[in-house]
Amino acid sequence: MAVITTIEDLRRLYERRVPRMFYDYAESGSWTEQTFRDNSSDFDAIRLRQRVAVDMSGRSTKTQMIGEDVAMPVALAPVGLTGMQHADGEMKAARAAEKFGVPFTLSTMSINSIEDVAGFTSRPFWFQLYTMKDEDYVRRLIQRAKDAGCSALVITLDLQILGQRHKDLKNGLSAPPKLTPKTIANLMTKWTWGIEMLSAKRREFGNIVGHVDGISDASSLGAWTAEQFDLTLDWNKVGKLIEMWGGKVILKGILDAEDAKMAAKLGADAIVVSNHGGRQLDGALSSIRMLPQILDAVGDSVEVHLDSGIRSGQDVLKAVAMGAKGTYIGRAFVYGLGAMGQKGVTTALEVIHKELDITMALCGERSVQDLGRHNLLVPQDFEGQWQQ
C-alpha cells in the first residue's frame, strides 16, 4: 500500500486507475490551458512568514462558511460527472465530507441525483445550479433541492456557454462512455473501475434523466444538454433565482470587481472568486491573483470564498490569509475519489488539514481565524502586474 503524503500522490494513483476520458475531464483546462496552470502555480509566488518562540498549543482550524460550522475553511466544490470517477462518486464524496465536517456541493451535472445524495447522508449539503433555457425544469430542480434539505444554493455564473476543452472532444467524453475501439482498449486496462461501475446506482446524469420530458437515455440527453445552457442569463435573472430559492445563496464564477459588486448588491450570502478551474476563459488571470482586487471592491458587504488551483493546505492558508473566508477543492478530492473511493476523499481532506495545521503553527498562529496578510510575503507586483 502506497504511503500518501500529498495530493500529488493521490493524483498519480488516480491516473493509473480511472479511464483516460474521465481523468482528462478533470485534469485539463480550455484551449492552451494557461489559466488552468496559473491557478496552481501563482500560489507559489506567495511566500510564508515564519515565526518562532510562540505558543503553538491548542491550535484550531475550525471556522464558519456562510454561518455553518466547518472543521476547516474548505468545501468540496461542485464537479460534474463525479459518479464516473468512481461508482456512486457523489454519494461517497458527500459522506466523506459529512464525516470530516466540511460542506459538500452537488453539481447539477452529477451522476447521482439530489435524492440519492440526500438519502445517503444526514447532514445538509449545498446544491449547485446551472441555469437552463427550460425554466420549468429549473424551477423543479430548485424545489427538489429544497425538498432534500439543501442548506445553500450555489449558482454558477460562468458557464452560459461551454469553453472548448480539446481533450474532451478528442476523447469523445460521454457518460456512460461510448464503446469505441479506443475506449474499449483503455477500459481493458482499468478493470477494477469497470467492475465497481457494474454495481453503481447510476451511470447517467441523475438530476436530468427521468426529470425532463423526452430524456430517457444518453443519446437524448446529449442533444438536450447541448442547447440548454442559458445564453440570456443576466443579473435580473440571477435576482429572480435568488428570490425563487429563498435561502442562503452563493454566487460562483466571479473574476471581476464590478461583477463582485453586482453580486453583493443582489444580496448573495457569499461569492466565489473562480475561473471554473481554468475550464472556461483561457487567458483569464488566476483566482488567487484576482482575490485582493475583489476583496477591495466588496469590503465586508459579502463573504468572499476562493476556488480554482488549491492543491494543498498551504494553498488554503494563503487564500485565507489574503482575506478569503473559505476555499473550495475540486480536483484534489476527485483525485482521492478516483484513487480510493470514499477513503480517498477522506485522505485528501486529511492531507490538506494536516498541511494547513502544521503550516499555521510554523507561521506562529493558533487559530485559522487569526490568519491575515501579516502571515504572508507577497511580491510587490503580484496584484498590480496586469492593469486594465
Q: Catalytic residue positions?
A: 276
Backbone angle region of 210, left / alpha / beta, with phi > 0 → left and psi within -120 to 50 → alpha? left
* Separation in Å, CA 167 to CA 29, 136, 229, 309: 9, 33, 21, 19
Query: Residue 94: which of 41, 53, 148, 141 has the closest Cα?
Result: 148
Neighbouring C-beta atoms of residue 161, cutoff 10 Å: 10
CB-CB contact of 207 with 116 (8 Å): no
